[in-house]
């Protein structure tokens, strides 16, 4: 019994020696922070193929990609906020969207998102457009799954960030091919009712 406990204790210190490395690393922007598009496209294609074997439909596949995006989103958001000049929190809808459009997109894809708009029909819908998302360049969707939008991964990232900023939203991505931009993707955010109510209150309060 004593030796068993002794062995377990040894295992713990071995683990902590390795995890020491994590806490020693710097949070500043490293010099070589780019990953090859080919490598990432390969990984993403494999993720999609892997998920396809474990889901029962297009909705499920989009939900799974969304979940994977969420795990990326929360980490990207915290890190980008930390690297900003002044660490602060976002609680308003518009500021959150502007932050996603500029800082997050620049950190992930080296360019800003192409446009940010508000839907005319519904007050609580906002749209982020990306004319050519680099990560989706090598994903091709067969005709029988034409309603699947590979941008579900990006939608997951945006959804995680919206949730962190206290503005939970239902986020979906839609493929809207346009002149010369076959991969144009629109990410639609539909904010919850309580978020819109809060926005109205804060706006009228000012």
Residue numbers at the binding site for another protein (CB under 8 A):
12-13, 15-16, 19-20, 22-23, 25, 27, 71, 74-75, 77-79, 81-82, 87-91, 164-166, 198, 202
DSSP 118: E
Closest to 200 measured CA to CA, from 123, 143, 100, 95: 123
| Helix H or strand E encompassing 65 | helix 58-83
Q: Is 179 left (phi over 0), alpha (psi -120 to 50) or beta?
A: beta
Nearer to another protein, 81 or 183 (CB): 81
**Reduced to 3 states, what is the DSSP secondary structure of residue 58?**
helix
Nearer to another protein, 12 or 110 (CB): 12
Smallest separation, CB 93 to another protein (Å): 13
Nearer to another protein, 51 or 166 (CB): 166
Nearer to another protein, 95 or 112 (CB): 95
Smallest separation, CB 81 to another protein (Å): 4
Closest to 112 measured CA to CA, from 101, 121, 120, 123: 101
Question: Distance between CA 45 and CA 64 in Å, rounded?
Answer: 14
Smallest separation, CB 175 to another protein (Å): 29
Smallest separation, CB 177 to another protein (Å): 34
Nearer to another protein, 70 or 184 (CB): 70
Smallest separation, CB 130 to another protein (Å): 23
Residues 78/167, Cβ–Cβ less than 8 Å: no
């Amino acid at each position: 019994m004593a030796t068993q406990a002794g062995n377990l204790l040894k295992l713990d210190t071995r683990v902590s020696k390795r995890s020491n490395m994590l806490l020693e690393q710097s949070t500043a922007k490293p010099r070589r922070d780019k990953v090859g598009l080919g490598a990432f496209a390969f990984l993403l294609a494999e993720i999609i193929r892997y998920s396809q074997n474990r889901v029962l439909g297009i909705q499920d596949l989009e939900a799974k990609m969304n979940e994977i995006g969420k795990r990326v989103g929360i980490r990207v958001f915290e890190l980008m906020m930390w690297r900003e000049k002044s660490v602060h929190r976002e609680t308003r809808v518009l500021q959150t969207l502007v932050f996603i459009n500029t800082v997050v997109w620049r950190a992930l894809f080296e360019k800003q998102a192409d446009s940010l708009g508000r839907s005319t029909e519904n007050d609580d819908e906002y749209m982020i457009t990306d004319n050519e998302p680099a990560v989706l360049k090598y994903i091709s969707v067969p005709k029988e799954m034409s309603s699947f939008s590979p941008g579900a991964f990006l939608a997951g990232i945006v959804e995680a960030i919206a949730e962190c900023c206290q503005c939970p939203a239902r986020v979906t991505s839609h493929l809207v091919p346009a002149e010369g931009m076959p991969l144009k993707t629109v990410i639609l955010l539909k904010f919850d009712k309580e978020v819109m109510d809060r926005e109205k209150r804060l706006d009228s309060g000012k």
